[in-house]
Amino acid sequence: MKHDHPTQPPEKSLIGAYGNYFANLAKKPGTLSFRNAGWENLSDWKTKARAKAAELLSAPGTGKMPVVKLEEKYVYDGLDIEELSWQLPYGKRTKAVFLKPQGSSKPLPAILALHDHAGKKYFGYPKLVKTSDKQHPLIVKHQAAVYSGNAWANDIARHGYAVLVHDTFAFGSRRVFYGDVAGLDYGPLKTQDKTDQNPDEETHILTYNEWSKEHEHVMSKSLFCAGTTWPGVCLAEDQAALSVLSARNDVDNERIGCAGLSGGGVRTVYLAGLDDRIKCAVCVGFMTTFNDLVLNRSYNHTWMTFAPLLANYMDFPEILGLRVPLPTLVQNNNQDALFTLSEMKQADHILKQIFKKAGAAEKYKAGFYDGPHKFDAQMQADAFDWFDKWLA
């Protein structure tokens, strides 16, 4: 297969001497890239490109909108807070928290806040919220490390938004419980407590997180054999949560956005790329090219990232570009060790091309910030401004 602009690979790659060949195996731009001259009609392109993406993701059906149970309701941090749960057709009940300004009754613009991965599957939505003065020490450490110590879901709720944060597939309430698994032990973890009966013990949680890292490739292989993919399952569960949020009387379902860092960023790529109910999107700390993943960075990333064969049709940023012309902000960190800076900039260039061709250049923006992998206070402020511009 011939290519007009072959990638100039580094001298060495993750896959050794195979890097150059495989980095250029897929035609660029892909056959369903809007950058191709043959695509002029935006609607026709989106229909065909989204259909192919959906086919390859193979998201499982989640049935009708789930019945939501109100577990608890209280006021904290200037917010009305509801702890919720719902049952999908598979797995344990999904737990979530809904937040809005205290006393608010009118329909509000809303945010689906997508928690990160971080190799920490024991927790899901608590990574983004604070619902009492007593937080788990590991959550305090996590928020300090990547969120400037902020519970940003609380902050944007006080800013005037309704916010839903839910556990997604394999995290928190949706995690794989070791007691349900047969036939797997991982080295030294065999001697550790794996009963899921000590939820407040730090040693137990850290042990579980290490076990779940090793289990991730097993889960992904099993999902492939079942005819689905990890990003497809996450997409299905995030869309179910989006349906829960959209159905609320205190939410303006024509003004819903989503945002997330890292694993929440890749969830934003797929959800915002394939579901136009997301009117405004902020992808944080997860933007690069498929070439970067082939040559340099695939080992850094969760199986939540990878949709087999999709690279034959579009580059990674073009998945998010499927939402054009809807408002889209991408935030990158210049010293993010999970990506290659030149490829982050190439991804930015690709998205600029897509939005410009669609006549919507003003609807796309990228920010490059100094520092490591994070969604810090300045980035949060800029993200909130973006939501205010397009949703408020």
49: CATH:
3.40.50.1820
User: Is pLDDT above 60 for 222?
Assistant: yes
User: Is pLDDT above 70 for 6?
Assistant: no
Task: Specify the range with the lowest mean pLDDT, choosing from 10-19, 144-153, 161-170, 256-265.
Answer: 10-19
Q: Rounded mean pLDDT of 13-20? A: 93
User: Is pLDDT above 80 for 197?
Assistant: no
User: Is pLDDT above 70 for 256?
Assistant: yes
- Edge to edge, the sheet with strand 94-101 lists 68-76, 79-86, 94-101, 162-166, 108-114, 251-261, 280-284, 328-333, 364-369
The whole-chain average pLDDT of the chain stands at 94
Q: Rounded mean pLDDT of 343-361? A: 98
Q: What is the pLDDT of residue 7?
A: 47
Q: What is the pLDDT of residue 199?
A: 61
Q: What is the pLDDT of residue 1?
A: 36
Sorted by sequence, the CB contacts under 8 Å of residue 366 that are 6+ apart come out as: 287, 329, 330, 331, 332, 348, 351, 352
pLDDT band at 296 (very low <50, low <70, confident <90, very high): very high
Task: Tell me how many domains the chain contains.
Answer: 1
Whether 194 and 211 have beta carbons less than 8 Å apart is answered as yes
Domain, as residue range, for 81: 1-392
| Model confidence pLDDT, tens digit, residues 316-334 | 999 999 999 999 999 999 9
Task: Specify the range with the lowest mean pLDDT, choosing from 188-197, 233-242, 293-302.
Answer: 188-197
The pair of structure tokens assigned to 32 is 């369903």
Q: Rounded mean pLDDT of 213-224? A: 95
CB-neighbour burial class of residue 104 (10 A; exposed 0-12, middle 13-18, buried 19+): middle
3-state secondary structure of 269: helix
Whether 288 and 368 have beta carbons less than 8 Å apart is answered as no
Q: Rounded mean pLDDT of 246-268? A: 98
Q: What is the pLDDT of residue 321?
A: 98
DSSP 367-378: EEESSSS---HH
Q: Which residue has the tokens 């300090």?
A: 144
Q: What is the pLDDT of residue 203?
A: 87
| Model confidence pLDDT, tens digit, residues 80-97 | 999 999 999 999 999 999
Q: Which pTM was predicted?
A: 0.95
Integer Rg of the chain from CA: 20
